[in-house]
Amino acid sequence: MGKRLSVVIGGVGGLLMAFAAPVVAHHAFSAEYDSTKPITLRGTVKKMEWINPHSWMTLEVKSADGKVEAWEIETGAPNSMFRRGFNRDSLPIGTELVVHGYQAKSGKNRANGGSVTFPDGRTLFLGGSNPDDPENKK
């Protein structure tokens, strides 16, 4: 959507287009990240910071030459993640993850967490994965 990156929810054609509400990431995505630089990072969780408006996850990523670098990944608002069944025990330090996102324009080792999966491709926190998730109590 032009100057801001959006995720379009819904919209499977026909009448459903009626509620293809654009969802804008909170913080001027285009100011922070380079939409021409998608990046895939595979690493282990070093730290999780539960801060608004978006949480941050630090991953230790081993490069091709064996050097380990810390990457900071912007993830969802803590409120949304709590509701989704994510808590401080969900990702123990050392958990291996794959992050698909866009690299920060600042040149720092930062990226947005467009999606976060386990190495076997499972998406985090699918419906049914957490009995405390309100989605599973309906």
Taking CB under 8 A as the criterion, which residues in 40-99 touch another protein?
A: 40, 51-54, 56, 72, 74-84
CB atoms inside a 10 Å sphere around CB 62: 12
Kindly tell me which of 66 and 107 has the beta carbon lying closer to another protein: 107
Nearest-approach distance from CB 37 to another protein, in angstroms: 11
Residue 117 found at the interface with another protein (CB under 8 A)? yes
Strands (E), the chain: 6-8, 22-24, 33-49, 56-62, 68-74, 96-104, 110-112, 115-117
Check residue 16 for interaction with another protein (CB under 8 A).
yes
Distances from the Cα of 55 to the Cα of 15, 110, 129, angstroms: 35, 13, 21
- Assess 32 for contact with another protein (CB under 8 A): yes
Q: Nearer Cβ to another protein, position 44 or 117?
A: 117
